[in-house]
Structure 1
Amino acid sequence: MSKRSESVRRLLLPLGRARSYESGQTLYRVGDMPDGIYGLLRGRVCLSTPNDAGSVFDCHIAYPGFWIGDLALFARSPRLITITARSPVDVWFLPQAALTDLLRPHPDLLADFYALNHQNTAVALRLLANMSIPDTTRRVAAWLLFSDESLSDTDGWILCSQEQIAMMNAISLPTARRILKKLADQGLIELGYGRLRVGDRGRMSEFCAT
């Protein structure tokens, strides 16, 4: 909401209330009917969706500043993704009933929610495009670049296990470990326990483009 005008923030923020979740708790699941919109204040969440092979695909890790839930709410349709806390999480929840009441006298606010949906659609399309990169090393590098752009208050560390990186890039765990070691050996990333960070975004971008 930081990109919305001051007048819009004054209208929306008083409607919300704080909610907290422990790591592993679900904010909502695929198929749930919408109840409101969630803004991530602290921690990180994982977005996942079922695929046609019968398994669940973890597609994105989101950090503070991320808003979600508007699409199903305004479409009056079931949720398309599952949101799970991957750490202790605090959110600012805007309830559906309060939003509906606010939009009656302020229908122009819909443009602000379209802007939010546009931003989330851009994320989804970029993730999809990066998944089409045939070279697995560059696919992982592109995923790391995108994840680095999403960071807010983690000192540059991408908080994600190697197992999650493997799943999100549709590769095996041994392949993910081999690729991460290769990137680290070239000085492109720094590895830590359950986390890693991009060393030089310029060099990493050049690596992805070659």
Structure 2
Amino acid sequence: MLTQAPSTHFSALLPEHLIILRSGRWFHELPRALSEQLTGLARTQQLATGEALYLRGDPPGGLYAVLRGTLGISGAVGGGHARSSLLTLLEPPAWFGETSLFDRDVRSHDVHATEPSCVAYIPQAALLQWLDQHPEHWRSMALLLTHKLRQAWITLEEQSLLAAPQRLARRLVTMAEDYGLRLDTTQSRRTLNLSQEQLARMLALSRQTTNQILQDLQQRELIRLYRGKLEILDLPRLRESCLMK
């Protein structure tokens, strides 16, 4: 069950958290002054399963990075909860919340922890003050935003052009490659902590259709299904199944 109030307890960033942040391509490539400022301002926040980090309509509070666990970004048409969408799942070392740095507007979506999680939190007021004093670093913040925009356009293109089996396979490949966020692009994840219900919501497919496609991929020995997760057995062949025919 989703909770509405986020935790307000913050702790200092630990050395192991820095290792996680540096495994991400965006943070690794930051100018030293900006990366040091972010880590200097950062505090960690723990979230229980189902706990909200922030909700649609909340005032902008800052920038976040996932250090442990998984967070889901979701929304509902008209602001209701009868039919909600799951846009994406965020895992380490993903950064998010940067949109409000630019437009200073309220949060546009809900963010909940789908399992016990930990995030790094950089307060918006302090970060904006520093960026206003060092405007040359706004480009780095813009690169974080443009990566999300590029992924959004790709998703829209897939939604329009690809059949459901291809879209599903491509999403699995993209998740296995961590959406291109990691510095080491030679490695991919074999196990995805992803339920069939979550995958169906992310792709706007029925649970039945999603299950049929996954069962077909399993019969072809491309993946292996478990409760609440799946294992990718043959990433090259799974990537080939994404191609338009």
1:112 matched residue in structure 2: 140
Query: Is 1:185 aligned to residue 219 of structure 2?
Result: yes
CA RMSD for the aligned pairs?
A: 2.0
Deviates more, 1:151-160 or 1:119-128: 151-160
Whether contact under 8 Å (1:133, 1:139) holds in the other structure is: no
**Corresponding residue of 2:240:** 206
Q: After TM superposition, where is structure 1 displaced by more than 4 Å over at least 4 residues in a row?
A: 151-155
More displaced stretch, 122-131 vs 7-16: 122-131
CA distance in 1, matches of 2:100, 2:34: 21
Shift of 1:60: 0.6
Contact 1:62 1:150 in 2 (8 A): no
Match of 1:11 among 37, 43, 47: 37
Unaligned runs of 5+ in 1: none
Structure 2: distance between partners of 1:74 and 1:123: 19
1:56 equivalenced with 2:84 (yes/no): yes
Q: Give % identity.
A: 30
In the alignment, the residues of structure 1 paired with residue 193 and residue 112 of structure 2 have an alpha-carbon distance, to the nearest angstrom, of: 15
- How far apart, in 1, do the equivalents of 2:52 and 2:188 lie? 22
Aligned partner of 1:47 in structure 2 is 73
Q: CA deviation at 1:23?
A: 1.0
Shift of 1:3: 2.8
Secondary structure, aligned partner of 2:192: coil
Question: Aligned pair 1:83/2:111, yes or no?
Answer: yes
Aligned residue number for residue 161 of structure 1: 195
**For residues 8 and 84 of structure 1, what CA distance do their matches in structure 2 show?**
28
Matched residue SS, 1:20:
strand
Task: Sort the Cα spacing of 1:175 and 1:86 in 2 relative to 1 into closer, same or farther, 3 A.
Answer: same
TM-score w.r.t. length of structure 2 = 0.79
Report the AA paired with residue 181 of structure 1: Q
- Residue 98 of structure 2: aligned partner: 70
CA shift for structure 1 position 95 = 0.1
Q: Does 1:149 align with 2:177?
A: yes
User: How many residues were matched structurally?
Assistant: 210
Matched residue type, 2:86: D
CA contact (8 A) 2:176 2:189 kept: no
Residue of structure 1 equivalent to 2:62: 36
In 2, Cα distance between equivalents of 1:46 and 1:6: 30
Residue 190 of structure 2: SS of its match in structure 1?
coil
Contact between 1:161 and 1:194, CA under 8 Å: does it hold in 2?
yes
Contact 2:169 2:238 in 1 (8 A): yes
2:231 is aligned with what amino acid? Answer: R
Structure 2 residue 167 is the aligned partner of structure 1 residue 139: yes
Letter in 2 for 1:19: Q
Q: How big is the shift at 1:123? A: 2.3
2:3 corresponding residue in structure 1: none
Question: Secondary structure of 1:90's partner?
Answer: strand
Whether 1:196 and 2:230 are equivalent positions in the alignment is yes
Q: Name the CA distance, whole Å, in 2 between partners of 1:4 and 1:10.
A: 9
* CA displacement, residues 102-125 of structure 1 (integer Å, 9 cap, x when unaligned): 123211111111011011212222
Which blocks of at least 5 consecutive residues in structure 2 are unaligned? 1-26
Aligned partner of residue 105 in structure 2, secondary structure:
coil
2:130 to 81, 97, 102: 102
TM-score by length of 1: 0.92
Measure, in 2, the Cα distance between the counterparts of 1:135 and 1:53: 29
